[in-house]
């Protein structure tokens, strides 16, 4: 992987990580279109690039993340909810780690899940209309855990962690804005755990050149993710999910065409 390729992939990661369109799916396809070698470093980079996106959430919502130090016990409840919500993903991710890695190589899986997820997003605003939960403080531990269960669906490439957890939040009667923000908060421990696990397994293989590419990619992902988060919250409140549904369906169909014509290998 070259520095330019890593920057392009990082831009894709930053733009798509918190939108309900599957960042992993977009990175997989981008890597294949760029002709990036399908080696262990590429797999490590695809997961590790999320560090930059995680940092973007922490910086943008820094007041929320320092509440334990300003509000005491009340503030620590925020972290306990995130811990409860991330438990399902930690458990299933550890058990099915190898299976998930194998799915990361499948463009066909991404195409199918892009289309199916798009169909869901077309109707999600009409299905979940009641939103009495408007503040994070109203989210119970049971609700947080159920949202965490929804997030596990995103272990299938192309599903979108953001979409799964936001839909889970709306199903639990959170407003669209709160569901999106809780999805961002939940991304921090979820992605940190996934990235940390991958890095522990593969950091020894990193060369000095690889490390420079890894750092550059994360810096780019950080900046782009900050811009994407700000855009998404405003857009979501005004327009809902339908446009993302159409985008996913169109993207999935395009992938199927590329696979059928042999331009892209499954």
- Cα 214 from Cα 99, distance rounded (Å): 24
| Residue 103: pLDDT over 80 | no
Is residue 169 in some structural domain? yes
- What's the pLDDT band for 239 if we cut at 50, 70, 90? confident
Kindly state the DSSP code that residue 133 receives in the 8-state scheme: B
- Cα 190 from Cα 195, distance rounded (Å): 9
Is residue 161 in some structural domain? yes
- Tokens representing 141 are 């531990």
Is residue 265 in some structural domain? no
Number of domains in the chain: 1
Taking the alpha carbons of 241, 246, 250, 256 in that order, is the dihedral positive or negative? positive
Q: What is the pTM of this model?
A: 0.85
Is residue 234 in some structural domain? yes
- What's the pLDDT band for 192 if we cut at 50, 70, 90? confident
| Residue 82: pLDDT over 80 | yes
Is residue 99 in some structural domain? yes
Is residue 113 in some structural domain? yes
H helices of the chain, in order, are 3-16, 23-34, 40-48, 50-60, 62-65, 67-71, 73-95, 97-103, 107-127, 141-151, 161-171, 176-202, 208-239, 242-260
Is residue 60 in some structural domain? yes
- What's the pLDDT band for 266 if we cut at 50, 70, 90? low
CB 121 within 8 A of CB 245: yes
**Predicted local distance difference test score (pLDDT) of residue 147:** 95
Surface-to-core class of residue 208, CB atoms within 10 Å of its CB (0-12 exposed, 13-18 middle, 19+ buried): exposed
- Tokens representing 95 are 């058990």
Of 45-54, 58-67, 194-203, least confident by mean pLDDT is 194-203
Mean pLDDT of the chain: 87
- Tokens representing 35 are 């002709």
CA atoms within 13 A on the CB side of 186: 35
- Cα 43 from Cα 37, distance rounded (Å): 10
How large is the angle between the packed helices 3-16 and 208-239, nearest 10 degrees? 30
Kindly state the DSSP code that residue 238 receives in the 8-state scheme: H
Which domain, by its residues, includes 33?
3-260
**Predicted local distance difference test score (pLDDT) of residue 89:** 86
Is residue 266 in some structural domain? no
């Amino acid at each position: 992987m070259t520095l330019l390729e890593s920057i392009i992939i990082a831009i894709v990661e930053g733009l798509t990580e918190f939108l309900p369109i599957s960042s992993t799916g977009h990175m997989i396809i981008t890597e294949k279109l760029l002709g990036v070698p399908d080696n262990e470093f590429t797999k490590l980079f695809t997961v590790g690039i999320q560090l930059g996106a995680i940092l973007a959430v922490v910086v943008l919502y820094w007041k929320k993340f320092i509440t334990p130090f300003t509000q005491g016990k009340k503030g620590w409840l925020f972290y306990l909810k995130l811990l409860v919500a991330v438990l399902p993903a930690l458990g299933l991710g550890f058990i099915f780690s190898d299976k998930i890695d194998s799915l990361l190589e499948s463009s066909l899986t991404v195409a199918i899940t892009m289309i199916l997820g798009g169909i869901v997003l077309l109707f999600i605003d009409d299905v979940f209309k009641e939103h009495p939960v408007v503040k994070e403080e109203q989210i119970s531990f049971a609700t947080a855990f159920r949202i965490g269960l929804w997030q596990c669906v995103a272990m299938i490439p192309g599903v979108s962690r953001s979409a799964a957890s936001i839909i889970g939040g709306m199903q639990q009667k959170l407003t669209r804005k709160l569901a999106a923000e809780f999805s961002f908060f939940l991304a921090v421990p979820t992605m940190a755990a996934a990235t940390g696990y991958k890095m522990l397994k593969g950091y020894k293989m990193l060369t000095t050149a690889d490390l420079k590419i890894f750092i550059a990619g994360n810096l780019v992902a950080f900046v782009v993710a900050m811009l994407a988060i700000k855009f998404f919250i405003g857009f979501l409140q005004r327009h809902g999910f339908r446009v993302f549904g159409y985008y996913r369906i169109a993207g999935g169909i395009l992938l199927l065409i590329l696979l059928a014509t042999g331009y892209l290998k499954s």
